[in-house]
């Protein structure tokens, strides 16, 4: 057992005993301001489970509040004891609800369409028995300066999420490779989260409900990744009437529509296209004209069926870059799913079959042989089946997670060319299937002041023909209504990429990656709706490592290359997608502290996020350098975001300070007998780029009318035009050439939102 595991077990035992003492003390000694606090909840239709927007919620003699588009509401300064709620909503009878003492979250399910029936109410305590995660809703995503209303670029402002140079795509969670983390949209894994260059993510914020980022190991329902989990939860379509919205920006334009479909159903459809090719293309030389463009589309249809909800969903992304007469590069994926979810009594279950296609292609023009294509395609399929049951002591859940694919590879074949024919194509096919089973149980002890959730996951990773077992444990302690501790310990495994199937010989670097994650966090609610959290984390990654190094030349891997070539290789692989980028296994370690402070009101949003971390890798037991800084290691990452609403205006600013990336310096040179100069490399990762510092600004102006709301936004990245070095090239004599990052970059756009959005 590792020292960190022994420490965690002793700490958990001590905290359980401390929780029992606090619970038996009845909360004596807590601050006076803990007697009041925010009461949160959501109002939904009991049959369709769709949110009820615009409902009026009155709590005692406090000021009434109105539910938002997601049906959510917040009653500030609600007393800690039992409190009565009155709920008024169009097409529903008025309802009276009692929320129990100490309960800070409730769900109200309205039944009856004006027929005088009473409503059904279920109260729920927030689920604290999950690993530390960070949540952003649609409004917060669209208020963060420097992100251009983009969903996943906003995630880079969260604690535990590293910065990617040049503002490119990729999510670095707790010092891991972007490929080590999985991105899901409503439970369906997304193969490529960003369009070319990372300028925009695949999903528009207009159709988003929530973004949840869990660095490290997630709940047991998520597997096959050792870095973390990123969940995008789509907004349910509204079925009261038809709406049409649109957004036009510097890079792209999008539109969406939603409305009723009969029988209580509702549908939403969105589409987006960039027009960079139309603007930039005509300004360049035709022989080397770079013309990038991307599409994406989304569909969701909800329909009440047999006491539950049937959801049909589809989304796609299509990118292409044409480089004049040289060639082109394209990538595409599409996903479709059909989910049925129903709650009957204390049991909730859902079944989701899904399928799709991924395709990546490269066409290079060669004078002698013509076009030389390289293509990789994957036809994935999967099934998710989950069941959960509530009980007086807590709840229990479990499920099945199956996914597989047919993988196709196409490469040029020169044999016909030798015989005088044209260039041929060689096609290769492979199949694989992964099967996962998971279960978890949550016990609430001492009125929920202590929550214990053990979980386990078993996977057969068909791509590597290997079984894995992932035990996980989360314990949370509400030591006071305003103070909670949470500890988690979990194991995760990750299979190699699809290129593993085409390897002629099994390379140990492509074995299954394993990781053990440990974290301890404290969460405090202060007066004035201020929340803080501090989380310590430790992650250890295992694997057989790379082949042994036998000479200085053999050590010339990504990390041993002078400059920042290792970083470029990782980011390029992330943008290309896993079809052309196999994952390698290394021994690794990352540890650090995440801290955040939040204050949100109707007018103000203040967010401070800080991460201190140290990430290192070891490529083999006989590696001459031993443990070295990971190419994406960022010691300090500090961000401060503030936004304020002033009438029809909203002003925001974001300041960031991030430690520069490590690189391998050149400390000297050797001159050979032929006069060739050979650089002498220093310690791997022994130098760092200068720190990244930036100030981003944002201004929004809204005009509200009876027919909808028109918004104009101006978003300025690097407003001070600071010359931030993002990379470095090193000559053989040691001369450094810093590559400057983005200069001041203003973007703007216009958005139309229909009434009720």
Q: Which residues contact 711 (CB under 8 A, 6 or more apart)?
A: 700, 701, 702, 703, 750, 751, 752, 753
pLDDT for 166 beyond 50: yes
What average pLDDT does range 547-554 have in this prediction?
A: 33
Domain that holds residue 354: 243-753
Average pLDDT over residues 716-724: 93
Alpha-carbon distances, residue 110 vs 90, 94, 104, 107 (angstroms): 11, 9, 20, 10
Burial of 532 (0-12, 13-18, 19+ CB in 10 A): middle
pLDDT, tens only, 364-381: 655 555 555 677 889 999
Q: Which residue has the tokens 């979980």?
A: 455
CA distance 215 to 161: 8
User: According to the model, what pLDDT value does residue 634 have?
Assistant: 94
209 within domain boundaries: no
| pLDDT at residue 488 greater than cutoff 80 | yes
Q: What is the pLDDT of residue 322?
A: 76
Between vectors from CA 202 to CA 297 and to CA 267, what angle results, nearest 5°?
Answer: 35
Give the pLDDT confidence score for residue 497 in this predicted structure.
Answer: 80
720: pLDDT confidence band, cut at 50, 70 and 90? very high
pLDDT of 553 reads 34
Task: Determine the average pLDDT of the residues in 530-542.
Answer: 93
User: Band of the pLDDT at 184, cuts 50, 70, 90?
Assistant: very high
What CATH number is given to the structural domain containing 403? 2.40.170.20
Query: What total of structural domains would you count in the chain?
Result: 2
Residue 496 lies in a domain: yes
What pLDDT, on a 0 to 100 scale, did the predictor assign at position 571? 59
- For residue 286, what pLDDT is reported? 58
Task: Tell me how long the chain is.
Answer: 757
**pLDDT per residue as tens digits for the range 342-366:** 988 889 899 999 999 998 887 765 5
pLDDT in tens, 744-757: 988 899 999 888 66
Least confident of 24-28, 292-296, 520-524, 640-644: 24-28
Residue finishing a domain among 64, 91, 123:
123
Q: Cα(73)–Cα(42) distance, rounded to whole angstroms?
A: 6
Q: Are 302 and 268 in contact (CB under 8 A)?
A: no
Q: Give the end of a domain, one of 90, 123, 156.
A: 123
Give the DSSP letter of residue 1: -
- Domain final position from 97, 123, 149: 123
Arithmetic mean of pLDDT, 130-151: 86
Q: Taking 90 as the threshold, does the pLDDT of residue 665 lie above it? A: no
Other C-beta atoms closer than 10 Å to the C-beta of 699 total: 15
Report yes or no on 144 lying in a domain.
no
My answer on whether 535 and 672 are in the same domain is yes
678 within a domain of the structure (yes/no): yes
Summarize the confidence of residues 551-568 as an average pLDDT: 45
3-state secondary structure of 212: strand
Residue 449 lies in a domain: yes
**CATH number, domain at 106?**
2.60.40.1120
- Mean local confidence (pLDDT), 300-326: 87
Compute the average pLDDT of residues 499-525. 79
Beta bridge partners of 43: 108
Q: CA 239, 240, 243, 249 torsion: positive or negative?
A: negative
DSSP 276-287: HHHHHGGGS-GG
> Looking at residue 128, what DSSP letter applies?
-
Q: Does pLDDT of 290 surpass 80?
A: no
Tell me how far apart the alpha carbons of residues 664 and 511 are, in angstroms, rounded to a whole number.
27
Average pLDDT value for the chain: 80
More confident residue, 226 or 587: 226
Q: How far apart are CA 50 and CA 109, in angstroms?
A: 10
Confidence of residue 548 (pLDDT cuts 50, 70, 90): very low
Q: Domain for residue 173, yes or no?
A: no
CB–CB of 570/178 below 8 Å? yes
Per-residue pLDDT, 554 = 34
What is the per-residue pLDDT for 83? 79
Distance CA 670, CA 686 (A): 20
Ranking 209-213, 394-398, 495-499 by mean pLDDT, the lowest is: 495-499
- How far, in Å, CA of 730 to CA of 618, rounded? 24
- pLDDT at residue 718 tops 90: yes
Q: Six-digit token pair at 482?
A: 């305003």
The answer to the question of residue 351 being in a domain is yes
> Among candidates 174, 201, 46, which has minimal Cα distance to 112?
46
Q: Average of pLDDT values for 411-437?
A: 69
How much of the chain exceeds pLDDT 90, in percent? 36
* Window from 132-136, 138-142, 701-705 with minimum mean pLDDT: 138-142
Percentage, residues of the chain above pLDDT 70: 76
273 pLDDT above the threshold of 50? yes
């Amino acid at each position: 057992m590792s020292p960190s595991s022994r420490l965690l077990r002793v700490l958990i035992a001590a905290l359980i005993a401390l929780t029992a003492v606090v619970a038996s003390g009845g909360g004596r000694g807590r601050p006076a301001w803990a007697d009041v606090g925010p009461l949160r909840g959501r109002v939904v239709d009991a049959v369709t489970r769709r949110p009820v927007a615009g409902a009026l919620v009155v709590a005692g003699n406090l000021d009434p509040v109105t539910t938002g588009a997601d049906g959510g509401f917040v009653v500030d300064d609600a007393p800690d004891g039992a409190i009565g709620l009155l709920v008024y909503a169009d097409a529903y009878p008025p309802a009276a609800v009692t929320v129990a003492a100490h309960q800070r979250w409730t769900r109200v399910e309205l039944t009856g369409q004006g027929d005088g029936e009473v409503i059904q109410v279920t109260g729920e305590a927030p689920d604290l028995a999950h690993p530390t995660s960070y949540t952003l809703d649609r409004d917060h995503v669209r208020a963060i300066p420097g992100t251009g209303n983009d969903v996943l670029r906003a995630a880079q402002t969260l604690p535990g999420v590293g910065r990617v140079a040049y503002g490119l795509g990729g999510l670095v969670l707790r010092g891991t490779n972007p490929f080590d983390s999985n991105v899901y949209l409503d439970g369906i894994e997304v193969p490529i989260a960003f369009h070319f260059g990372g300028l925009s993510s695949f999903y528009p914020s207009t159709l988003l409900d929530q973004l949840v980022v869990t660095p490290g190991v997630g709940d047991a329902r998520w597997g096959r990744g050792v870095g973390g989990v990123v969940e995008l939860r789509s907004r349910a379509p509204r079925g009261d009437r038809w709406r049409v919205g649109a957004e036009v920006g510097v890079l792209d334009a999008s539109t969406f529509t939603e409305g009723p479909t009969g029988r209580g159903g509702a549908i939403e459809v969105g589409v987006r296209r960039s027009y960079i090719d139309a603007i930039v293309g005509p300004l360049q030389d035709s022989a080397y004209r770079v013309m990038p463009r991307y599409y994406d589309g989304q569909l969701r249809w909800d329909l009440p069926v047999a006491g539950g909800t049937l959801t049909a969903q589809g989304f796609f992304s299509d990118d292409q870059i044409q480089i004049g007469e040289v060639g082109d590069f394209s990538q595409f994926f599409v996903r479709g799913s059909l989910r049925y979810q129903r709650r009957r009594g204390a049991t909730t279950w859902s079944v989701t079959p899904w399928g799709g296609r991924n395709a990546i292609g490269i066409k290079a023009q060669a004078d002698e042989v013509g076009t030389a294509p390289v293509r990789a395609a994957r036809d994935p399929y999967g099934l998710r089946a989950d069941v959960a049951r509530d009980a007086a002591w807590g709840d229990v859940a479990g499920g099945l997670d199956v996914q597989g694919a047919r993988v196709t590879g196409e490469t040029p074949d020169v044999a016909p060319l030798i015989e005088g024919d044209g260039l041929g194509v060689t096609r290769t096919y492979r199949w694989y299937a992964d099967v996962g089973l998971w279960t978890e149980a949550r016990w609430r002890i001492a009125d929920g002041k202590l929550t214990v959730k053990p979980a386990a996951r078993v996977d057969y990773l068909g791509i590597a023909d290997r079984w894995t077992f992932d035990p996980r444990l989360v314990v949370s302690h509400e030591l006071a209504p305003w103070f909670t501790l949470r500890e988690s310990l979990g194991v995760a495994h990750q299979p190699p990429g699809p290129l593993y199937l085409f390897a002629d010989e099994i390379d140990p670097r492509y074995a299954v990656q394993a990781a053990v994650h440990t974290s301890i966090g404290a969460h405090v609610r202060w007066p004035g709706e201020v929340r803080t959290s501090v989380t310590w984390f430790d992650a250890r990654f295992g694997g057989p490592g790379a082949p042994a190094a036998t000479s200085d030349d053999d050590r010339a891997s990504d990390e041993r290359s002078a400059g920042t070539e290792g970083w470029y290789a990782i980011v390029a692989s992330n943008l290309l997608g896993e079809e052309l980028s196999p994952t390698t296994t290394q021994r690794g370690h990352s540890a650090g502290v995440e801290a955040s402070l939040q204050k949100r009101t109707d007018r103000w949003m203040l967010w401070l996020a800080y991460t201190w971390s140290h990430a290192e890798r070891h490529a083999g037991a006989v590696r001459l350098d031993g443990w070295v800084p990971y190419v994406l290691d960022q010691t300090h990452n500090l961000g401060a975001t503030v936004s304020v609403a002033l009438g029809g205006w909203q002003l925001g600013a974001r300041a960031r300070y991030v430690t520069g990336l490590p690189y391998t310096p050149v400390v000297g040179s050797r001159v050979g007998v032929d006069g060739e100069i050979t650089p002498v490399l220093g310690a791997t990762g022994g130098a760092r780029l200068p720190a990244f510092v930036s100030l981003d600004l944002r201004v929004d102006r809204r005009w509200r009318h009876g027919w909808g709301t028109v918004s104009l936004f101006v978003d300025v990245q690097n407003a001070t035009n600071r010359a931030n070095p993002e990379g470095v090239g090193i000559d053989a004599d040691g001369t450094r050439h810093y590559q400057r990052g983005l200069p001041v970059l203003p973007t703007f756009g216009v958005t139309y939102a229909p009434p009720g959005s």
